[in-house]
Structure 1
């Protein structure tokens, strides 16, 4: 079979591993080919032109080839647009990368999710501390939806009964959206879940969700964390534990 050559592919570096004394294996998230593994030969040499380019949370244009599980990086260019996030925004960007590493499969394209990720990274790099948490909750919801892991937010999952606007419902990993009469004010109301459902299906879902999530940060944090940990198969994501450890110092 002829080796496939891909050029001018929008991409972000999610993770990197040592492969030899001079080379790296990169996990990249591309717009048209999904998550892809690439070998970057000689990238650790001081004279390598790849060294200042292959950074996380930076928009890149890549060329690569090969037909195996790990393809060969041919070229990489920074396309500009924003600087590297710093501080809490940088850790939040690593958190988004860990979610993509755990929940996406290799060579499974998700162009709309790629666009959502790119927009979220731009928000993190903007330096707007308030928008940072909004962006995280909105990305989590959209990631779960694109992976087919988020139930419809306009009905009760097990009974398919419509939501009552004034009742409160919990989002549970194994049961979906469920009315829990004794959950008090910790759960979102039916009206709030319906507003999120509408935002998820809007023409510009990230922008619509940012508006909705601005008022629901506390209520959404726990159910989304439980959903993500369950589907990632972990008790706590590594980047989240790192954030908690830093906050206690």
Structure 2
């Protein structure tokens, strides 16, 4: 389950990511009643693997049956915020009823890696896989002219075109060198270790590429992350229904 919010008196409106169907919306009725269906609410928690049965011919499905397929993944606050960011990306960007079995597997393994620590490299690799699934993964192997990257030259990313060489006369130190980009590709594709500059470059690339798809509407999970990093005492508890993408 990627997201949930109240629906009517005793229901929940769910955003779900499934192996067979991809992302979809479903209504779970009566989940707040203690006598009937109350157990459903306990299962409909973030980062809990589920087996579900859906019904209905419309785009909005009805949740008929639900079973636990494993233990709830308990994440610390930092990992939880990262995981909610991933969930929000999927809700905002994945088209409905588009099966993405590889991305589904990447999602599950990313959550496990977040639990183990090292959230930022995990996020950069998942963003890269998401861009690939959406068909918007930038080509980092050459520049917009099709020429191989030069190790010493700096490049900036134009999300709609690709890597563009930065004019040597520019003094704002923009972009990243070809050598750094080569290390980024190796870390993203082959899971080699990120160094600090390569990690910063990977973040720059994913943010530039994703912004085109996300538009100007801010991500709620980034607000949580900024509050957490600033040490704010007003950081809300990270919950599945706390990042309403409306």
Equivalent residues of 2:138, 2:159 under 8 A apart: no
Structure 2 CA distance for aligned equivalents of residues 121 and 238 of structure 1: 19
Equivalent residues of 2:138, 2:209 under 8 A apart: no
More displaced 10-residue stretch of structure 1: 169-178 or 95-104: 169-178
2:74 corresponds to 1:84: yes
1:29 to 8, 11, 17: 17
SS of the aligned residue for 1:50 comes to: helix
Structure 1 CA distance for aligned equivalents of residues 15 and 150 of structure 2: 44
Q: Partner residue of 1:16?
A: 4
Structure 2 CA distance for aligned equivalents of residues 140 and 103 of structure 1: 11
Distance 1:39 1:235, change over 3 A: closer
Q: Partner residue of 1:233?
A: 215
- Structure 2: gaps spanning 5 or more residues: 233-246
Structure 1 CA distance for aligned equivalents of residues 138 and 171 of structure 2: 20
Structure 1 CA distance for aligned equivalents of residues 208 and 127 of structure 2: 11
TM-score when scaled to structure 1? 0.82
2:159 corresponds to 1:173: yes
Q: Partner residue of 2:123?
A: 136
Structure with more contact order per residue of length (Cα contacts < 8 Å, sep ≥ 6)? 2
Equivalent residues of 2:184, 2:202 under 8 A apart: no
Structure 1 CA distance for aligned equivalents of residues 42 and 84 of structure 2: 18
Give the deviation of 1:185 after TM superposition. Answer: 5.8
Cα deviation digits, residues 199-222 of structure 1 (max 9, x gap): 65xxxx5xx33x343542223223
Equivalences for residues 7-156 of structure 1 within 5 A = 13-47=1-35, 48-80=38-70, 83-126=73-116, 128=117, 131-156=118-143
More displaced 10-residue stretch of structure 1: 52-61 or 32-41: 52-61
Equivalent residues of 2:19, 2:104 under 8 A apart: yes
The alignment yields a C-alpha RMSD, in angstroms, of 2.2
What is the total number of aligned residue pairs between the two structures? 226
Give the deviation of 1:120 after TM superposition. Answer: 0.5
Structure 1 CA distance for aligned equivalents of residues 156 and 70 of structure 2: 41
Distance 1:49 1:82, change over 3 A: closer
- Structure 1: gaps spanning 5 or more residues: 1-12
Structure 2 CA distance for aligned equivalents of residues 173 and 160 of structure 1: 16
Q: Partner residue of 1:5?
A: none
Q: Partner residue of 1:3?
A: none
Give the deviation of 1:78 after TM superposition. Answer: 2.1
Give the deviation of 1:15 after TM superposition. Answer: 0.9
Equivalent residues of 1:229, 1:236 under 8 A apart: no
